[in-house]
Structure 1
Amino acid sequence: MRRVRYESTGGPLFPEDVPVPEPGPGELLVRCDAVGVTLPVVRKVTEAAEPIPLGGEIAGEVVAVGDGATRFRAGDRVTGLCFGHGYADFAPLREDMASPIPEGASAVDAVTLVRSGLVALGALEAARPEPGETALVTAAASGVGHLAVQLAGLRGAARVVGAVSDPGKADFVRALGADEVVTYAEPGWGDPVDYALDAVGGDLLTPAVAALAPGGRLVAYSSGGGTIHAYDLLVGAKSVIGFQMARIARGKPEVYERWRQELWRLFAEGSLKPAVHEEFALEDAAKAHAVIESRSNLGKVVLRPST
């Protein structure tokens, strides 16, 4: 089978031929029909001290079941987060990280909706939104952000502002339901909002806090770091909430499952529409990473090992 790896920090991605792995205890072996490309994995390739397995969101058909795995069997369609080599024709998936793909949904739908949607919905829940409040979503055209824009509207936001890096993304974000679109370079981001969902971090934290109305809440779920000055929170009685999906997945599996079911329900009724920027062949993984690095994607970037 084919698998993508790299040999040094920031080094080129390349496919190699390796044996099909065997599922370990509690694992499923999945034939990957779709693999979601995420910013955290892209960052690890360029920043990690040692090469890492290219894991992440995968979706496809179970072809083998390891000892102790009882919830799924060969032929089932599943999606989940792979911690090993996921950029591959076949990948091991821990059964406790797997969930079924419902009828009527494709593997691409699954990797576009589930993990990114869980992060978007979880960040929104952390903001404790009330109907009629106003919302700001940074990285509004990203794999997570484009779902967060839609979810904020579905939760009753009276006004949703999408913040993007490039004005060329404005039409895409408005088509998602955003009432306004601003760029990071603008000196002001319009009227203040009640809550903001920030996926960027870094230097963007200061203007994101400034965009909050008195008493506003900023949910930070970026891996980009950054610093917030306490005085900027004090003068407006604002607050910052950190959100991490791993904490929910490990500590509150019932919440994780409820959110997952909510996402599929909204998808089935047509209220939540995941968007795919482009599908790349497995051997073009480097091109897919380049799209993420350049922040040029409109929606999710997906690898298709089967193509």
Structure 2
Amino acid sequence: MRRVRYDVPGGPLFVEEAPVPEPGPGELLVRCAAVGVTLPVVRKVAEAAEPVPLGGEIAGEVVAAGEGTTRFRPGETVTGLCFGHGYADYAVMSEAMASPVPGDADPVTAVALVRSGLVALGALRAARFRPGEAVLVTAAASGVGHLAVQLARAQGAGRVVGAVSGPGKAEFVRSLGADGCVGYGDDDWGDPVDCVLDAVGGDLLAPALAALSPHGRLVAFSSGGGTLRAYDLLVGAKSVIGFQMALIARGRPELYERWRREVWRLFAEGAVKPAVHGPFALEDAATAHEAVTSRANLGKVVLRP
């Protein structure tokens, strides 16, 4: 089978031939039909001290199941997180990380919708959002952000604003249902909002906090870090809430499952439609990573083995 890897931190990515892996106890072997490219994996390639397997979100057909698996059988289509080599024709993932794909949905849609949609919905829930409130989404054209814009609209937001890295993304964000779009460097982000869903962090945290009205809530769910002054929270009685989907998946599986069903329901009703940037062939994995690094993507970046 083909597999993407790299030998030295920072690059270059290349395709090699490798044996098809064997699923161990509690694992599934999946024939990958779609692979989601995530910012954390892209950052690991550039920043990790040693090369790491290119894992992440995969979707495809189960072709073999390891000892002790009970939920899925060969022939079923699943999606979920792979912590080993996921940029490949075949990948192994824990059955506990897998979820079913409805029969009327294709794997590319599944890999673009499920994990990113769960993060977007979870961030909205963490913000204690109420219908009628105004919501601002940073990285509004990203894999998570473009779904967060749609989910805020579908959940009854009174106003939805997208914040993006460049003016070329404004039309795309408005097509998702946003009422307005602002650039990160704009001096004026418009009228204050009740909630900010921030997927960027870093230097963008301060203007994101400033965009909140008194008693507003900022949900930080990026890996970009950043620092805020306590005084800026105090004067407006504002809140910053950290959100991490992994904690929900591990600690509250019943809530994770409920959100998963809700995301698929909203998709079936037409309220949420994932946008795919690509898909790219495995041989073009470096180009897919560059789309994420340069913030050129509109929607979810997907590889299609």
TM-score by length of 1: 0.99
| Equivalent residues in 2 for 1:77-96, closer than 5 Å | 77-96=77-96
> For residue 133 of structure 1, what is the aligned residue in structure 2?
133
> For residue 39 of structure 2, what is the aligned residue in structure 1?
39
1:175 deviates by: 0.4
Give unmatched runs, 5+ long, in structure 2. none
Question: Any idea what SS the aligned residue of 1:232 has?
Answer: helix
> For residue 202 of structure 2, what is the aligned residue in structure 1?
202
> For residue 117 of structure 1, what is the aligned residue in structure 2?
117
> For residue 145 of structure 2, what is the aligned residue in structure 1?
145
How many positions carry a matched residue from both structures? 305
> For residue 48 of structure 2, what is the aligned residue in structure 1?
48
Match for 1:303: what amino acid?
A: L
1:156 deviates by: 1.0
**Counterpart Cα distance in 1 of 2:217 and 2:147:** 19
Is 1:157 the counterpart of 2:145? The answer is no
1:212-252: CA deviations, max 9, x gaps? 00000000000000001101100000000000000000000
- How many percent identity over aligned positions? 77
> For residue 273 of structure 1, what is the aligned residue in structure 2?
273
Question: Any idea what SS the aligned residue of 1:19 has?
Answer: coil
**Counterpart Cα distance in 2 of 1:187 and 1:269:** 38
1:187-214: CA deviations, max 9, x gaps? 1200000010000000000000000000
1:278 deviates by: 1.1
1:27-48: CA deviations, max 9, x gaps? 0000000000011110111011
**Counterpart Cα distance in 2 of 1:93 and 1:76:** 14
> For residue 299 of structure 2, what is the aligned residue in structure 1?
299
Match for 1:22: what amino acid?
A: E
> For residue 175 of structure 1, what is the aligned residue in structure 2?
175
TM-score by length of 2: 0.99
User: CA RMSD, aligned part only?
Assistant: 0.5
Question: Any idea what SS the aligned residue of 2:280 has?
Answer: strand
> For residue 16 of structure 2, what is the aligned residue in structure 1?
16
**Counterpart Cα distance in 1 of 2:76 and 2:56:** 19
**Counterpart Cα distance in 1 of 2:190 and 2:60:** 43
**Counterpart Cα distance in 1 of 2:258 and 2:104:** 20
1:147-186: CA deviations, max 9, x gaps? 0000011111100010000011000000000001000010
**Counterpart Cα distance in 2 of 1:132 and 1:121:** 17
1:245-268: CA deviations, max 9, x gaps? 000000000000000000100111
**Counterpart Cα distance in 2 of 1:90 and 1:131:** 43
**Counterpart Cα distance in 2 of 1:61 and 1:148:** 28
**Counterpart Cα distance in 1 of 2:41 and 2:131:** 35
**Counterpart Cα distance in 2 of 1:130 and 1:122:** 14
Give unmatched runs, 5+ long, in structure 1. none
Match for 2:51: what amino acid?
A: P
